[in-house]
Structure 1
């Protein structure tokens, strides 16, 4: 389906109506070595984004490095560190197109120490592709306590991903050989857990058997001679026909910045979470309130485009700001309805795990959209009664694993957040401490910093 993007106001002339393929951002998640990068690399190859010659070059290099079976993942893993280890560390980015849709792949690392990078990848995704290894022993390692599979599912739900496709990979492995019993065993173990994380198994979840390495069931359906029991679609067939996510094209503009660099001026990278922008627009960079002009907008293929629409991953060249004055987590926003920048807000928290109890004064690192920031909980305000679901009148003395509470959250510097009910992508977060996800949260109430206005007024008076 071709998407016609009509932008208002002002009404564009018929010649400026933008005809674009629908665009989906997908993040590959799952335990280390499940085959995420191999799947991504082979998708790039079969959709023609990486040509045969490049693939042969990767195959030769991988062979020389003694990593023969990893050549497909080298199309996606860009740093020498990743290639040497065969593990993705940064959030890799790649792009491919089918006949009906454009896709941005965010290949998130599966290794435990890299979870913050994974959160940043998931925060920009519409759909999560959870890659699971069907190989005997590998699925069990990834799924048991301490494995990444469980944590990743909870994190992508918090990051705002609404749909999950579980790709059961390595079906061609000698220990599996496209065995339906093994596929069903994985499906039966995974479904209750994904449901507990907040996804509806009927509407938000799909299972697909594939072999990422051989490419079976990626573009074309797996032959009946190999897998007689599979009657479902191939991976790309399913992705092309998934219901499209709702795009808020006419809402106020919000683009959380995931990275920035210098290239004939300041360039910022991010996903348009809401609204749209045109070349020449004057925008605000929050929380610093810097007025900037959009000098150029580029898509994933580095082509200049006239308009960036909600859901697009874009690179934007800005005038009026130095790249040194921009940090990941800043938000490019509309001057008429800018994103809120606050130091204090109330949030509903679900405590997932913590060694001891959590009391007022607790500190952790908050990950919200593309931002990671240290926060303090100066006060616990209410807890939710498990039996009735009602909020307590009295504040709890402490919170422990399994509880749902409302707490006050405070940062040192202003951060760009919104209430979850207004903008889910800018209103949901995770709290992490000592390498573990402690809680998932939703921003429920923004508290104005009146002191801020006073400080600003004083600063202006002094300057005057």
Structure 2
């Protein structure tokens, strides 16, 4: 039986409980057995980290376990009777935002994890906390549906208090609306306890929480409307990671990523851009299974023949290769920058899975935020709160598409000095000279 596949990213401030919740979901859906969880619990207790053991199902590195912080974007799989899911567990610490962007760029839906514990919600939501930046980055990267789970409702400072839940929801809603989410159609709020598992798989018991009568998290995800997939479009797959094929008898390179459009079949040929390298798809792996084909929306690992270290950026159809440019025009919205921005400004751009240093080659037009009309004259500078059409120049050839043609390959984030400065979308590709 075919099950639709959904990519879910857990985002939110550090210590909100993302990894613990993810680990508990893996346990409750049978993807991690009881014996393994008991082993994690014993090891965590020996390190005086007893409350962290659930997160160890996702945080597998020694550094992550010792510090209790997710560093890389964790990945795991689970399935219900209705659907298959990939969990992308994004790091919450501000030092690891680039890794978080890599995870959220592959997601279909975001789960924003909020701690209801007294003081923790305020720390995460106030300036300097990652709740705001993560929500903005999710929207920028095209994740248009968000479930906001108010976690740690069983904490002694909360005790499933409706007043505390309502306080969190009332503070978050205006901010998320300002980020671009429609509260009526794009947002869903629910109380949970990631540690005890309350309201994750089964609805929370009435004697625990008498005022909530909505679905559990997994019930909600299973009942979500089917997602639109570009099955019949040309193949486009941004490559997130690569490694040498692990078996001696299997030569080649293994790459991972989410198929944004089209499909792949074992034995077929594809093109790696920007290097124009023709490859053969020697093997396809979804979760732990070897399969003969995969389609748009699937998170896959592909074994490629005919390419070594150049396997980066985009895997695409030889008939419809991804565009390669050194400059392009884009609509840019300045979110947060203390100074004015002029032509010549440099920043780091995150676009699909690529990270590239860029320079603003020229400021072309200001965009009126109310009417969307553009100015005839180029502005001398742009500042926080303004929108502009700009020309962006990259340091190396880069695979991008216009936002209208491929939204996932045409939206980007600019970061500078450890924070998100601007978001943008590609409006016009400029031919390489």
Q: Identify which of 121, 129, 132 aligns with 1:139.
A: 121
* 1:30-69 matched pairs, under 5 angstroms: 30-69=12-51
**Residue 401 (1) aligns with residue 387 (2):** no
**Helix, strand or coil at the partner of 2:167:** helix
Superposed counterparts of 1:173-212, under 5 Å:
173-212=155-194
Of the candidates 253, 272, 275, which is equivalent to residue 288 of structure 1?
Answer: 275
Identify the residue that residue 14 of structure 1 maps to in structure 2. none
Is residue 427 from structure 1 mapped to residue 427 from structure 2 by the alignment?
Answer: no
Does the residue aligned with 1:162 lie in a helix, a strand or coil? Answer: coil
How big is the alpha-carbon RMSD for the aligned residues of Structure 1 and Structure 2? 0.8
SS in 2 for 1:188: helix
Q: Deviations over 1:43-97 (max 9, x none)?
A: 0000000000000000000011110100000011011000000000000000000
Aligned-partner SS, 1:156: helix
Q: Shift in Å at residue 388 of structure 1?
A: 3.4
Deviations 1:318-377 (A, max 9, x none): 11111x2223xx100001111111111000000001121110011100001111000111
Equivalent residue runs for 1:380-459 within 5 Å: 380-449=363-432, 451=433
Mapping 1:223-262, distance limit 5 Å: 223-262=205-244
Residue in structure 1 matching 2:263, options 261, 271, 276: 276
Distance of 2:370 and 2:146 partners within structure 1: 30
SS of the residue corresponding to residue 194 of structure 2 reads coil
Match of 1:325 in 2: 310
Equivalent residue, structure 2, for 1:308:
294
* Cα distance in 1, alignment partners of residues 406 and 112 from structure 2: 25
1:94 corresponds, among 73, 76, 95, to: 76
Q: CA deviation at 1:387?
A: 4.7
Aligned to 1:374: 357
What CA deviation, in whole Å up to 9, does each residue of 1:239-283 have, x standing for no partner? 100112210000010000000001232000010001111111111
Partner of 1:72: helix, strand, or coil? helix
Q: Distance in 2 between matches of 1:296 and 1:286?
A: 19
In structure 1, how many angstroms separate the alpha carbons of the residues matched to 2:211 and 2:152? 17
CA distance in 2 between counterparts of 1:212 and 1:173 reads 11
Q: Structure 2 residue aligned with 1:151, among 123, 133, 142?
A: 133
Q: Report how far residue 413 of structure 1 moved.
A: 1.4
Aligned to 1:115: 97
Q: Distance in 2 between matches of 1:172 and 1:396?
A: 53
Q: Which residue of 1 aligns with 2:286?
A: 299
1:396 and 1:230 map into 2 onto residues whose CA distance is: 52
Cα separation, 2, equivalents of 1:163 and 1:245: 11
- Calculate the TM-score normalised by the size of structure 2: 0.98
- Rounded to whole Å, the distance in 2 between the matches of 1:175 and 1:345 is 52
Structure 2 CA distance for aligned equivalents of residues 126 and 29 of structure 1? 13
How many equivalent pairs are there? 428
Gaps (5+ residues) in structure 2? none
TM-score w.r.t. the length of structure 1 is 0.91
